Each structure stands twice: as structure tokens, then as C-alpha cells.
């Protein structure tokens, strides 16, 4: 066996000469973010022979410290394993471990991670943000990265309690894209090689962000169950008990705006149930059917309070940017605005200002046509 470095390729990877042809060797992967989604990905990749290092930010070490204290990670459900994951609090170790970094922190934590990364030369690195929520457009003051990819969702539905991981569901596919659409098939193959699920290439990160259906599910489910969440500290099933027909009706109003924004860019976005069915390989007929019968959803307990990332991530980093795009494009978006306003009234937070608005994403100066020129389907070619 020979190993040859793929110098000059847009993606960092090595190739191994095996029998009569070159095949990509299994890369080393560093996962930044030591929560359930990061640990689930680590356990899955490790079981496939990938060398994985997990980085936990030193001030966000809730689950990492349980795992390190116990000395092992026990995973149950769709992934069953007991293993000793390699975990570090040292960002320089994370950067030097591999050229492939997967970001698995809530998008509200991405800037903290960028701050930790800013003194490193990442011109040979690839970062995949799971989910991206337009991470590529967040100003990176002086930080240059070789490639950035974004996904719409995490491959897993999972939770963690005191260092023990429960994986309720594993998706069959997730959506992925980059800022620039002219990605070679070779680079796509290398990205697919890293992932334990199929990746479906979108035109660009705007289509990926609009395909993060958590923006449809989470804020409304939380808002419309706020009383029950606060009076029971989340002692009920958020989907099975919380997603009833009226909640579903409200979600569909938000979903129709999401699809209309996509249509203005020229994307043919699927409805929320169709995206979920496609990702999990299900065939639920509507939202209530999904909430009652989908294994990855119907066993999820409600969060204990309204500070949860179902609100604090999905409102500022999805709904606020969807609303900003809709305003630019002249798409009627009052259902989305209504949800943002109610959440702001309930929490006292100014998410329109704090979230990924057009100014934060550096899109404020673009006219409608310039926005469409940059991200519309006419201008960006589909890579597959």
C-alpha cells in the first residue's frame, strides 16, 4: 500500500493506492462542540474506524466534564457503544490534529469558536458547520479558511444526561452546501467520504439555511406550549403532546413563507413534512402524524424552560435571517414576523437586533436584484 498526498486539491485528504486504483483514505476528523450531536457523530465515526478528537470549549464543558470524569462515553439507542473518546480543551491541539473540522455547536456559539480559532492559519483547513445557519456569511475578521461547508441539520436526534448519550434517531441524509456553487465532484466525493450519512448537495448556503426545518418546528412548538413548559419544567413530550392540529396549522403558515422565499431565489423547496420524511426515510402524511408516530420525535421531552436553544438559536439565527431575506425580496412574511414578535414579548430579548439580520450577515447593502444575482438559481449552478 502506498499513500500519496493530494497536493493541489481543493480538499485536504490523502489517497491510498489499493490493488489497482487510488481510494481516499479515512480522514482524521476533529469535532468542535461536545454536546449530544458532537458526541453522537464522534461515536458513529469512531465505529467506522475514523480517528476522532472532540474539542470542548473550556467554558462550555457541561457534558465533556461528565465524560472525562467517568473515563468513557456510553451511547444507547440507534448507536450503541461504550468507548473512551479523545477530548481536548486545547484549541491548538484541535487545529493541529487534522485539516477537517466539524463544528457542532449551536450557531449562537459559532462566534465564540471563531474567536478561539482566529490566531491559527486555517488556509489548508476545511470546516463543516452542522448546522450552518449562514455561518459562511458571519464576519471572520482576518480568519481565512480553505473551505467552509454548511449543513441544514445534525444527522442525529439525540440527548445527553450526565455524560450518557441517547440517540433517538439517525437520519439517512442531510443537506449540504457552500458559499460558492462551483465545487468539483472530487471535493463533493471527499466530503461524502467523511459523513456517516448521505449528503445532498444544495445550490448554496441560502438553500441549505432555508432547509433547516427546525425554524418551522421549534419556535412555534415552544411558544404554543410555553405555559405547560414553565408549569411542568418540561415534563411532557414536546412533539407527541405539544404538536397538535392548531400548532401544526401555525407551523404550515411559517412553512409557506419559507417555501416562498426559496421560490424567489429559484429553489424548489419541499414542505416541512417532506423534508423530514426525506431525511429520516419516513412517510408521514402530515405534522400531527409525524409528531405522534415518528420515533426520533415522539420520545423527545420538552425543554425545561424557554431559554432553550429551540428559541435562543432558532429564532435569532433562522427566523430573523429568513425574515430579512423575505423583506429584501418583497415576500409577504407576516407569520414569521408574528413568531419573532411573540418570542421577543415572552422573553424580553431583542432577537431582531441580536440575531443574524441582514446587517450581521453583510447583506444589508444588497438590492433585491443583487441578492438574487449572488444566490439565485440563475446565477449559481447546481453541482450534481
Ligand X SMILES: NC(=O)c1ccc[n+]([C@@H]2O[C@H](COP(=O)([O-])OP(=O)(O)OC[C@H]3O[C@@H](n4cnc5c(N)ncnc54)[C@H](OP(=O)(O)O)[C@@H]3O)[C@@H](O)[C@H]2O)c1
Residues that bind ligand X (CB under 6 A): 33-38, 56-57, 60-63, 104-109, 112-113, 130-131, 153-154, 156-158, 309, 313
**Cα–Cα distance, 75 to 59 (Å, whole number):** 24
**Cα–Cα distance, 173 to 199 (Å, whole number):** 5
Q: Give me the least distance between CB of 357 and ligand X, in Å please.
A: 19
**Cα–Cα distance, 199 to 30 (Å, whole number):** 19
Q: Give me the least distance between CB of 194 and ligand X, in Å please.
A: 17
Q: Please say which residue, 33 or 85, places its beta carbon nearer to ligand X.
A: 33
Q: Please say which residue, 131 or 324, places its beta carbon nearer to ligand X.
A: 131
What sign does the CA torsion over 348, 115, 26, 160 have? negative
Q: Give me the least distance between CB of 279 and ligand X, in Å please.
A: 10
b/e burial code for range 63-73 (CB count within 10 A of at least 16 → b): bbebbbeeeeb
Q: Please say which residue, 117 or 206, places its beta carbon nearer to ligand X.
A: 117
Q: Please say which residue, 61 or 374, places its beta carbon nearer to ligand X.
A: 61
The residue sitting closest to ligand X, measured at its beta carbon, is: 35
How many residues are present in the chain?
A: 384
Residue closest to 60 by CA, chosen among 124, 103, 23: 103
Q: Please say which residue, 130 or 336, places its beta carbon nearer to ligand X.
A: 130
Q: Give me the least distance between CB of 89 and ligand X, in Å please.
A: 11
Asked if 361 and 331 touch (Cβ cutoff 8 Å), the reply is no
Rg (the chain; Cα; Å): 20
Q: Please say which residue, 167 or 331, places its beta carbon nearer to ligand X.
A: 167
Q: Give me the least distance between CB of 28 and ligand X, in Å please.
A: 20
Asked if 186 and 310 touch (Cβ cutoff 8 Å), the reply is no
Q: Please say which residue, 125 or 297, places its beta carbon nearer to ligand X.
A: 297
Residue closest to 378 by CA, chosen among 203, 188, 208, 179: 203
Helices 334-347 and 214-224 pack at an angle, to 10 degrees, of: 50
Q: Please say which residue, 111 or 241, places its beta carbon nearer to ligand X.
A: 111
Q: Give me the least distance between CB of 79 and ligand X, in Å please.
A: 12
User: Which grid coordinates are listed for 79?
Assistant: 448507536
Nearby residues of 115 by Cβ (< 8 Å), 6 or more positions away: none
Q: Give me the least distance between CB of 200 and ligand X, in Å please.
A: 16
Residue closest to 336 by CA, chosen among 274, 250, 240, 232: 250
Provide the 3-class DSSP secondary structure of residue 377.
Answer: coil
Q: Please say which residue, 278 or 313, places its beta carbon nearer to ligand X.
A: 313
DSSP assignment string, 62-111: HHHHHHHHHTSEEEEETS-EEE--EEES-HHHHHHH-SEEEE-S-GGGHH
Q: CA dist 345 to 233, 252, 294, 370, Å? A: 20, 22, 32, 34
Residue closest to 219 by CA, chosen among 237, 242, 236: 242
Amino acid at each position: 500500500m502506498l499513500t500519496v498526498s493530494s497536493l493541489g486539491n481543493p480538499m485536504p485528504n490523502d489517497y491510498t493506492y489499493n490493488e489497482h486504483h487510488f481510494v481516499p483514505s479515512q480522514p482524521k476528523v476533529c469535532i468542535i462542540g461536545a454536546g449530544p450531536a458532537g458526541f453522537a457523530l464522534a461515536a458513529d465515526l469512531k465505529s467506522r474506524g475514523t480517528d476522532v478528537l472532540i474539542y470542548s470549549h473550556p467554558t462550555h464543558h457541561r457534558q465533556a466534564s461528565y465524560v472525562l470524569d467517568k473515563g468513557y462515553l456510553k451511547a444507547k439507542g440507534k448507536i450503541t457503544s461504550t468507548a473512551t473518546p479523545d477530548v481536548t480543551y486545547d484549541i491548538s491541539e484541535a487545529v493541529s490534529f487534522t485539516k477537517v473540522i466539524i463544528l457542532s455547536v449551536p450557531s449562537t456559539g459559532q462566534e465564540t469558536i471563531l474567536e478561539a480559532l482566529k490566531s491559527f492559519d486555517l488556509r489548508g483547513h476545511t470546516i463543516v458547520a452542522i448546522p450552518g445557519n449562514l455561518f459562511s456569511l458571519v464576519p471572520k475578521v482576518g480568519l481565512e479558511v480553505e473551505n467552509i461547508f454548511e449543513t441544514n441539520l445534525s444527522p442525529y436526534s439525540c440527548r445527553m444526561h450526565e455524560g450518557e448519550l441517547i440517540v433517538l434517531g439517525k437520519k439517512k441524509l442531510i443537506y449540504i452546501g457552500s458559499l460558492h456553487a462551483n465545487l468539483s465532484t472530487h471535493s463533493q466525493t471527499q466530503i461524502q467520504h467523511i459523513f456517516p450519512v448521505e449528503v445532498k448537495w444544495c445550490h448554496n448556503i441560502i438553500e441549505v439555511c432555508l432547509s433547516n426545518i427546525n425554524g418551522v418546528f421549534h419556535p412555534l412548538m415552544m411558544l404554543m406550549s410555553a405555559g405547560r413548559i414553565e408549569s411542568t419544567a418540561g415534563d411532557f413530550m414536546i412533539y407527541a403532546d405539544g404538536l397538535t392540529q392548531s400548532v401544526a396549522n401555525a407551523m404550515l403558515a411559517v412553512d409557506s413563507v419559507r417555501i416562498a422565499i426559496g421560490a424567489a431565489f429559484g429553489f424548489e423547496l419541499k414542505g416541512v413534512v417532506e423534508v423530514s420524511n426525506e431525511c429520516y426515510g419516513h412517510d408521514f402524511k402530515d405534522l400531527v402524524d409525524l409528531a405522534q408516530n415518528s420515533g426520533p420525535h415522539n420520545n423527545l421531552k420538552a425543554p425545561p424552560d424557554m431559554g432553550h436553544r429551540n428559541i435562543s438559536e432558532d429564532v435569532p439565527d433562522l427566523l430573523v435571517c429568513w425574515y430579512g431575506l423575505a423583506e429584501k425580496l418583497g415576500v409577504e412574511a407576516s407569520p414569521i414576523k408574528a413568531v419573532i414578535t411573540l418570542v421577543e414579548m415572552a422573553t424580553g430579548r431583542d432577537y431582531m437586533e441580536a440575531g443574524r439580520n441582514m446587517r450581521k450577515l453583510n447583506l444589508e447593502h444588497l438590492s433585491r436584484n443583487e441578492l438574487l444575482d449572488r444566490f439565485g438559481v440563475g446565477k449559481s449552478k447546481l453541482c450534481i
